[in-house]
Amino acid sequence: MNKLECPNCNHSEIIEKMNYRKDSKIYMAKLFLVQKENPDLVVHTFMCFACNHLTNFAGNVDGTIEYFETYKYDKDVKFDNYYDIHGERNKFDAIKRMIIDINFDNNLDHFVKRLDKL
């Protein structure tokens, strides 16, 4: 798994240092989502700033990526396949808080500015 592709707009990014590259349009986060059907699966979320959609996904053992839900950042969604305390709702606010909270060294200013425009 070395590249992510947005299922909504097909924008892709190489994962290496993706969150810190100023030209990156995708921010990836581990938000501790737990699926009811497969609680051991490590599900991540990324936000594509090219189309303002979020996607939940997991990496497979063979290096491929399995994409789950893709939704617009301001959409009110509910996912019945996740435990309520771990991600049953839109994760935009969680990603926004995470970016702001971990930006103590200003390495994520490019994403903060993109969030401010939404």
86 band by pLDDT with thresholds 50, 70 and 90: very low
Q: What is the total count of domains within the chain?
A: 1
Give pLDDT, residue 72. Answer: 93
**pLDDT of 10 over the 90 cut:** yes
For the segment 65-82, the average pLDDT, to the nearest whole number, is: 87
Average pLDDT of the residues of the chain:
87
| Domain extent at residue 8 | 3-117
Q: What letter represents residue 111's amino acid?
A: F
For the segment 32-51, the average pLDDT, to the nearest whole number, is: 90
Give pLDDT, residue 85. Answer: 57
Q: How far apart are CA 8 and CA 96, in angstroms?
A: 20
Q: How far apart are CA 11 and CA 26, in angstroms?
A: 9
Tokens 């979020």 correspond to 54
